[in-house]
Amino acid sequence: MISELGHFALTLAFFVACIQCVVPLIGAMTGRAALMGLAAPAASAHFFLILGSFLALMHAFVTSDFTVRLVALNSHSLKPMIYKISGVWGNHEGSMLLWVLILALFGACAGWFGNNLTLSFRARVLAVQGAISVAFLAFILFTSNPFLRLMVPPFDGQDLNPLLQDPGLAFHPPFLYLGYVGLSMAFSFAVAALLEGRVDAAWARWVRPWTLAAWIFLTIGIALGSWWAYYELGWGGFWFWDPVENASFMPWLLAAALLHSAIVVEKRESLKSWTILLAILAFGFSLIGTFIVRSGVLTSVHAFANDPERGVFILIILAIFIGGALTLFAARASAMQARGAFSMVSRETALVLNNILLAVSALVVFVGTIWPLLAEMMFDRKLSVGPPFFNLAFTPFMIALGIAMPIGAMIPWKRGAVMRPVKRLLPIFVLALAAAGLIWAMQSGKSLQGPIGLFLGAWMVGGAITDLVSRLGKERDYSRLLRLPRSDWGKSVAHSGLGVTMFAVAGLMVWQQEDIRIVAPGETWSVGAYTLTLQDVSNVNGPNYRAVRGDVALEHKGRFITTLHPEKRFYPIANMPTTEAAIDYRFLRDVYLVLGDQQENGAWTLRTYIKPLTNWIWAGAFLMALGGGLSLTDRRFRVAAGARRKAPVATVNTPAE
Amino acid sequence: MRLRYIFLAFSLWVGYAYAVEPDEILADPALEARARVISKDLRCLVCQNESIDESNASLARDLRLLVRERLVMGESNEEVLDFVVTRYGEFALLRPQTKGSNVILWVAGPVMLLLALLIAFAYIRGRQAQVNSAASNALSVVEKERLDKILEQTNLE
């Protein structure tokens, strides 16, 4: 009964979304306030209906109602409660429902908190948001209905894929969706601005927080996914350049570009049409991501729901929205006149460079991702594009970005001299270079990757700190640090985070140690400065799996550190083996231990990895997200409401700052 | 039924953990290191998207052994890769060749970067021109006269 109600609510939401899409738009075109005013309540109703539908599906999962097909296929009565809940979005249909739920939530938020937007603009934003919702609700209702019943319900379910039964992965999809879908707000604002024919600082002030929020969620979602891959997949890789990973990475890069170019629009009223284009592209790439994940046109390890029919449906949605928006852009972009003038050496130019590097690197990832498809269709070549290509083609952009960032971040707006920030940054530059030289002299292999990574890390973190300190004025009054605008702090923290991540990635790739051997119980072996002893191997049973578990004592130069328990698990219901690596997490390095197969003589294969700096990868991502959060709570967004009223008049000649 | 297939795909993928087996490792560390480098550039043909260095599929193991065999025979890295390509096609290469249409793939990044820089340069030049004109924003004598005339006329009307 509850599932039918959920289905009904979803259908109803579809019709409400239709109204939300059509009526306010007519109102905005004919200038009728009553019709425009319908947008916000429709957005609320639309959200609550989808929420009801989502809760109904969750109810079916939590109570293990196996008459619902989706529950029977993806759940099991013995599964821990948290995974029954996360199982709701651990499958194609449920995850699409979560997708539209978040979409509707963002739309409703624009309705609730958008009082400071003009009525017609809000109506247009919500109408576009409603249109996206209509498309995806139709997609769910016609191709991926989560509420289908089974004629003959099974006694128990088929269980969720054991790899997905993991806390890191339980929250990875919701964060990614918050990010993907958050970009729909930037898209709706862009299209509404094109319809309205006006982009000003106030527009940017509205778009930036949404983009920032979406970018923060994407950062967290991607970091969670990569962390999960690191500890769950059993050999400690954290990024595979897989099509589905790229699908989340491209919107991340474009959102990063967008939130920087929105600053230029906000502060200087330049780069308007480019920012609009970026907003369209960023959401376009998140739709492309959805398409890649769910159509199965590209072979990926994330075999999610490979169904050509669904793929075609998403492709049509993609074509309509992105094609439509780009056509509108082509027709209207010339109306977006830039006002602010700036010289060749200025913060504006630095941000243009930032946008070029981020956008082109996103396109490089895109070309690499779809090249196998293009090559097969156009040149009849069956080929692969793997990590070696991406490492080679993508990394230079990040190195250039890292080198330029500290300088660009300190050049003044409008007109600056490049030498002033360079002089300030000189000590950091020398320090970073010296550290890199030292590492180069110390390390054995003489690979350049490590020193370059260390140089970039030190340069970017040091540069971010210098930037903050330079705000203190001549007398170095450190009490002013706390009174600096939060967006300044956010910028420095996020920029340092990128530096930390770059350093960690380089360090891990160069200095990792690996050892593969056969070990009999009781035997001792050493890797680097560590000594390990396989004490015992025993059988253990979990709630829904059986496991073989090793007990391995870990010592460092004769001092006992801990006992590690690597496991090989088997999930009988899903009929699937998994490995649980044992990891000793420390500040500077991880010791990563994997139990392999038993040999004929009773000994076991054991893989030991010493992975330096791994935690720094995610610490850096966390810093980036934290910096975004600080920036999001900046005063100008909190008080933007008051500024908005005056903005159209005030921005005619004088930019906001 | 499709779901079974997905699970199958997943279980192949899970295989990661077992990658290079101890009995495959060559006695000569230099040769073994080269084998590892080559393995990272070769695709496990039956897997979703992983190199033979990471995969535990039996075909990946065969390929790893093949690579080592050719290396022991004294072939160079390129010769080994060429051998694998003639046998399995260029699908086996994770680092695409730079021949033929693949040139597009390899130069796409640099070309797009160059284009973007050119467009940006032209754009910023345009903005800069505005700075210069803004600097001489004060009205010239001729402009002032014209303005005065217009003002006079409007006053008369």
What mean pLDDT comes out for the span A540-566?
Answer: 90
Instruction: Give the distance from residue A538's alpha carbon to the nearest chain B alpha carbon, in angstroms.
Output: 19
CB-nearest partner of B40 from A341, A371, A388? A388
Distances in Å between the alpha carbon of A531 and those of A520, A527, A556, A603? 15, 6, 6, 18
Confidence of residue A631 (pLDDT cuts 50, 70, 90): very high
pLDDT digits (tens, 9 = 90+) for A397-441: 999 999 999 998 888 888 777 777 788 888 888 888 888 888 777
CB-nearest partner of A163 from B10, B19, B105? B10
Locate the DSSP E strands across A574-621.
Answer: 576-580, 582-585, 589-598, 604-612
Does B92 contact A at CB distance below 8 Å?
yes
- Tokens, residue A336: 């977006």
Tell me how far apart the alpha carbons of residues A160 and A310 are, in angstroms, rounded to a whole number.
22
Are A229 and A592 in contact by the 8 Å Cβ rule? The answer is no
What mean pLDDT comes out for the span A364-383?
Answer: 89
- Residues 271-300 on A with a CB inside 8 Å of B are 299-300
**B14 chain-A contacts, CB cut-off 8 A:** 163, 233-234, 576-579
Q: Does the beta-carbon distance from B128 to A378 stay under 8 Å? A: no
Which of A312, A319, A282 lies closest to A294, judged by CA? A312
Distances in Å between the alpha carbon of A15 and those of A9, A22, A100, A137, A281? 10, 11, 14, 10, 28
Q: Does the beta-carbon distance from A388 to B117 stay under 8 Å? A: no
Instruction: Give the distance from residue A30's alpha carbon to the nearest chain B alpha carbon, in angstroms.
Output: 37
Interface test with B, best of A384, A594, A609 (most B CBs within 10 A): A384
CB-nearest partner of A341 from B40, B102, B130? B130
Instruction: Give the distance from residue A79's alpha carbon to the nearest chain B alpha carbon, in angstroms.
Output: 18
Tell me how far apart the alpha carbons of residues A409 and A348 are, in angstroms, rounded to a whole number.
10
DSSP state of A613: T
> Which parts of chain B have pLDDT scores under 70?
1-18, 130-141, 156-157
Nearest CA in chain A to B131: A341
Phi-psi region of A640 (alpha: psi -120 to 50; beta: other; left: phi over 0): alpha
Top mean pLDDT of A91-95, A166-170, A553-557 is at: A553-557
**A371 chain-B contacts, CB cut-off 8 A:** 96, 105
Are A161 and A66 in contact by the 8 Å Cβ rule? The answer is no
Q: For position B20, what pLDDT does the model report?
A: 80
Tell me how far apart the alpha carbons of residues A105 and A112 are, in angstroms, rounded to a whole number.
10
Interface pTM, i.e. ipTM: 0.84
**B49 chain-A contacts, CB cut-off 8 A:** 240, 242-243, 299-301, 384, 386
pTM of the model: 0.88
Residue A359 has pLDDT above 80, yes or no: yes
pLDDT digits (tens, 9 = 90+) for A433-466: 888 888 777 776 667 788 888 899 999 999 999 8
Which position has the higher pLDDT, B55 or A388?
A: A388
- Residues 576-595 on A with a CB inside 8 Å of B are 576-579, 581, 594
DSSP state of A548: E
Q: Does the beta-carbon distance from B22 to A364 stay under 8 Å? A: no
Does A341 contact B at CB distance below 8 Å?
yes
A22 burial level (CB within 10 Å; 0-12, 13-18, 19+): middle
What is the rounded average pLDDT for all residues in chain A? 86
pLDDT digits (tens, 9 = 90+) for A562-612: 999 999 888 887 777 888 889 999 888 999 999 988 888 888 989 999 999
Q: Does the beta-carbon distance from A605 to B18 stay under 8 Å? A: yes
Does A75 contact B at CB distance below 8 Å?
no
Q: For position A444, what pLDDT does the model report?
A: 63
Quote the percentage of chain A above a pLDDT of 70.
Answer: 93
